[in-house]
Chains A and B, each alone.
Chain A
Amino acid sequence: MKLTVWTYEGPPHVGAMRVATAMKDLHYVLHAPQGDTYADLLFTMIERRDHRPPVTYTTFEGRDLGEDTAGIFKKTCQDAYDRFRPQALIVGASCTAELIQDDPGGLAETMGIPVPVVALELPSYQRKENFGTDETFYQLVRALAQPMDRTPGITANLIGPLALGFRHRDDIEEVKGLLYEMGIGINVVAPFGATPEELTRLGQAHVNVVMYPEHAETAARHMERTLGIPYTKTVPIGVGATHDFVAEVARLCGVEPKKDLSRLRQPWWSKSVDSTYLTGKRVFLFGDATHVKTAARIARDEMGFEVVGLGCYNREFARSIRELGREFGVEPLITDDYLEVEKAIEEASPEMILGTQMERHIGKRLGIPCAVISAPIHVQDFPARYSPQMGWEGANVIFDTWIHPLVMGLEEHLLAMFREDFEFHDEAGPSHHGGHAPKPVGVEPAGDMPVAEVAPEERISGKMKEPDGAEAAGTGSDVMVWLADAERELKKIPFFVRGKAKRNTEKYAAERGVSEISVDTLYEAKAHFAR
């Protein structure tokens, strides 16, 4: 049993739904109780899909247990086939149905449904959503893809993009463009937009482009083994990675690595002097392993940031993230516990977070700007405009997206110079974000407010000592005391580095057995930690 507040991944059957919903003419019959239909809204609301996910739920009730839940499944399955006439069915159980052990796969097999029926075994009490996507796609490919002659011209399959993915819709277009430049055609894109009939033709391609290893690696390995199709290992997110990707594809296909760089602006944008202020910005990366790996390289090599922490929530890729941690000299965080991530971010005190929508909330709480780089995502992360992450345009988009939350160049200096300005102070946030209301300064938290709901800005002043020596409430067992003038000085430090300055000063004081922090202590610590 594990206490969870927010989760990065849903259950594995939601992964199966992401595959089914991305495809056409496939239907998923899910043995599940009332309530599990909530998952439909992920697709219709977050992704604004204009169709219901192609999923029929059996909706068994308490009174059905011990009676004929298997009969309910069979009736539902037949009705769904008759109504939707899909080219193939997938059948499976949600967490509750797994417990009643009706064996949807076995039941469906006996029904004489005249299209392929693929049974899914998704262990809900062990695995999670990304396992569900990968396993479902693999099972579909295993059941449907046949050995075939290669297409006369060189073609590729794009595999991995699916429903509720982070910018999958636009990444497909960008990767198609990269391949087009090399004279490589597209055989099948799957699961996104593919029919089961198209999956039977996967074997015609010369190469599999694995866009998202989380969702397609098992299928890619299977196709390499059974159909002899090699697959790509480089994910083309970032300028360097896209160059590498083109080289890899060219090598696998025996073609020239031709590129059209006419639309690539990121390198100049990053080199231009206005970007100097980005130098050494301390960033913390968290998300799915693939997006974190690519983001780490971009952050260091293409933006000039310093990566002060990184991690992923999908344990299946823990090994590669540990390697990445070694490469970047940071301790990697492999966890799906939101509170642990929050703690790690608080400790690292980055100037920016590159994360998921969960980290966006962490950022809000800690007053740290955040850009989203990975699923799970929010309705805001499905923009109407073209906004890929992959390829040359993806590199441009990432540059814009990452600097948007930051306070820009000269503005940062102005904030530092005239901190006391009543309109133009740092807690108002970057001036190009009109919606960021200034945080109330000096509001005392209500006495009965749970600690977790008190904003960190308010916590900073929790240990203030008044000039007359009377300590403010809330010192607890902590013996470190900030003198009032030091506290005021601390407040002059821009909010996005204030937490770090406070911690460094306290660490410095603790190491020297100093229990009262003065302005001098603050600046001694600053000099000590100066890099």
Chain B
Amino acid sequence: MNRPANIEGASCKDAPILKERGQREVFCGLTGIIWLHRKMQDAFFLVVGSRTCAHLLQSAAGVMIFAEPRFGTAILEEGDLAGMADAHEELDREVEKLLSRRPDIKQLFLVGSCPSEVIKLDLARAAERLTQVHAPHVRVLNYSGSGIETTFTQGEDACLASMVPVLPATGDRELLLVGALPDVVEDQAVSLLTKMGIGPIRVLPAARSAEAPGVGKNTVFACLQPFLGDTAAALGRRGARMIQAPFPFGEEGTTLWLKAIADEFGVDDTTFEAVTAAPRARARTAIANASEHLRGKTIFFMPDSQLEIPLARFLVRECGMEAVEIGQPYIHKGLVSPDLDLIPAGPTISEGQDVDLQLDRVRAARPDLTVCGLGLANPLEAEGLTTKWAIELVFTPVHFYEQAGDLAGLFSRPLRRRALLKLEAAE
């Protein structure tokens, strides 16, 4: 087995964390709806919020989705703020209208927002009441995607965590993969594990509510994304046990992730090698090609998608980059310790954000590449810095072997482009 030897010297695991608070240039958890509603094909996401929430969803999506999407916003109006009883009645009425227009909907998520939380609109109670009304055809759940409670990808965590208590119970020993990944990537993961003889494999969230996985004390689960802390805790409360590993980005991350699961299921090294050898070799070749422009370059991660630590591990260890600062909105050591462990000490690890102070650090460090949100990318480019928009990392298939080269390519493209453009006079 080519398990990487523990690195010499200190890693980032015990590095002090720079904690900041101030202006955060990060989306709220509502944004997760953009991909969750495509993943769960019989679910509808009803945000109970303000015009700002609706505008955020529309703007974050970048382009409007062709046809009516499976999400919407019940916009609170002056009257709803005055009388709470009325707000519940109004909500019931809007849900009734929505479900009669969309008979294909089997799961409805009432998604809390900043305003609904500040006025303490009890969406849990509303979900219970509406479930009774619309059972058995539709199950109504609720979670909060509000900016005062959640950041960007944390919305997916809150959504999946809300589903855990109502998953059917099972005593079967099953592997549960947790996280909403593009189908192509999910299929690759399932196929690799199946070839090792691991199964049955279930996925949360399932594409359709009828395929929802069971959970119980014989369930073991592995997270596909590093932002699913609450979901992991909720699965733990149902008796399931988490398999900890670095996240499956790059050849090394994918191998370690698969290996942790293989060990749990007693897969022998020969089988593991037989299944992974070819895709590993392909991944290495692809990374080598794509990372040509990354070697020796410095990178600065502004906090955004929660993928920062695992991606930094990939870029530092597999693409030869040097991390200056790795910022995450919040750091859940229970999930990212295996990744932190592999990153050699050196970079600043930061949690939270005071964007102006952090931009001062970016300007001082002048990294070769800065990973940041859409609000910061063009302004930094205009200052002569090269950037990579973080949101693309969430919207693109980047996990597992076959995407490892693409993942490196996402980071190298801005650098290649900068090198390609000749916009000055030839003299």
Contact with B along A41-60 (1 / 0, CB 8 A): 11011001111110011111
Q: Is B260 part of the binding interface, using a Cβ–Cβ cutoff of 8 Å?
A: no
Q: Is A452 part of the binding interface, using a Cβ–Cβ cutoff of 8 Å?
A: yes
Inter-chain contact A95/B114, CB cutoff 8 Å? yes
Chain B residues whose C-beta falls within 8 Å of the C-beta of A128 in the assembled complex:
51
Chain A residues whose C-beta falls within 8 Å of the C-beta of B381 in the assembled complex:
50
- A96 vs B64: C-alpha distance in the bound complex, in angstroms? 25
Q: Is A103 part of the binding interface, using a Cβ–Cβ cutoff of 8 Å?
A: no
Inter-chain contact B55/A2, CB cutoff 8 Å? no
Inter-chain contact A2/B23, CB cutoff 8 Å? no
Inter-chain contact B114/A33, CB cutoff 8 Å? yes
Q: Give the size of the chain A interface in residues (CB under 8 angstroms).
A: 63
For window 56-83 of chain B, which residues contact chain A by CB distance below 8 Å? 56, 58-60, 62-64, 66-70, 72-78, 80-81
Q: Is B218 part of the binding interface, using a Cβ–Cβ cutoff of 8 Å?
A: no
Q: Is B209 part of the binding interface, using a Cβ–Cβ cutoff of 8 Å?
A: no
Chain B residues whose C-beta falls within 8 Å of the C-beta of A5 in the assembled complex:
68-69, 72-73
Inter-chain contact A65/B52, CB cutoff 8 Å? no
Return A80 CB to nearest CB of chain B, in Å.
Answer: 9
Closest to A127 in B: B51
Closest to B329 in A: A34
Q: A38-B27, A44-B377 are in contact. Are A125 and B55 (CB under 8 A)?
A: no
Closest to A83 in B: B356
Inter-chain contact A452/B27, CB cutoff 8 Å? no
Inter-chain contact B55/A7, CB cutoff 8 Å? yes
Q: Is B117 part of the binding interface, using a Cβ–Cβ cutoff of 8 Å?
A: yes
Q: Is B203 part of the binding interface, using a Cβ–Cβ cutoff of 8 Å?
A: no
**Segment of A192-200, A346-354, A358-366, A388-396 in the binding face:** A358-366
**Among B70, B77, B87, B374, which residue has its beta carbon within 8 angstroms of that of A41?**
B374
- A2 vs B73: C-alpha distance in the bound complex, in angstroms? 8
Return B368 CB to nearest CB of chain A, in Å.
Answer: 20
- A7 vs B119: C-alpha distance in the bound complex, in angstroms? 23
- A76 vs B357: C-alpha distance in the bound complex, in angstroms? 13
Main secondary structure of the interface of A (DSSP, over half): mixed
Q: Is A410 part of the binding interface, using a Cβ–Cβ cutoff of 8 Å?
A: no
Return A443 CB to nearest CB of chain B, in Å.
Answer: 15
Chain A residues whose C-beta falls within 8 Å of the C-beta of B69 in the assembled complex:
5
Q: Is A467 part of the binding interface, using a Cβ–Cβ cutoff of 8 Å?
A: no
- A493 vs B24: C-alpha distance in the bound complex, in angstroms? 56
Q: Is A11 part of the binding interface, using a Cβ–Cβ cutoff of 8 Å?
A: yes
- A339 vs B72: C-alpha distance in the bound complex, in angstroms? 12
**Among B29, B62, B90, B356, which residue has its beta carbon within 8 angstroms of that of A1?**
B90
Between A34, A99, A448, the greatest number of chain B beta carbons within 10 A of the residue's beta carbon is seen for A34
Inter-chain contact B58/A96, CB cutoff 8 Å? no
Inter-chain contact B51/A52, CB cutoff 8 Å? no
Q: Is B16 part of the binding interface, using a Cβ–Cβ cutoff of 8 Å?
A: no
Q: A62-B148, A95-B115, A100-B118 are in contact. Are A4 and B54 (CB under 8 A)?
A: yes
- A41 vs B379: C-alpha distance in the bound complex, in angstroms? 10
**Among A9, A41, A50, A59, which residue has its beta carbon within 8 angstroms of that of B382?**
A50
Q: List the 7 closest pairs (A to B, CB-CB), nearest first.
A: A35-B28, A35-B147, A40-B375, A50-B382, A96-B114, A41-B374, A1-B90
B residues whose Cβ falls under 8 Å from a Cβ of A = 21-31, 46, 48, 50-52, 54-56, 58-60, 62-64, 66-70, 72-78, 80-81, 87, 90-91, 93-94, 97-98, 102, 104, 114-115, 117-119, 146-149, 151, 356, 373-379, 381-382
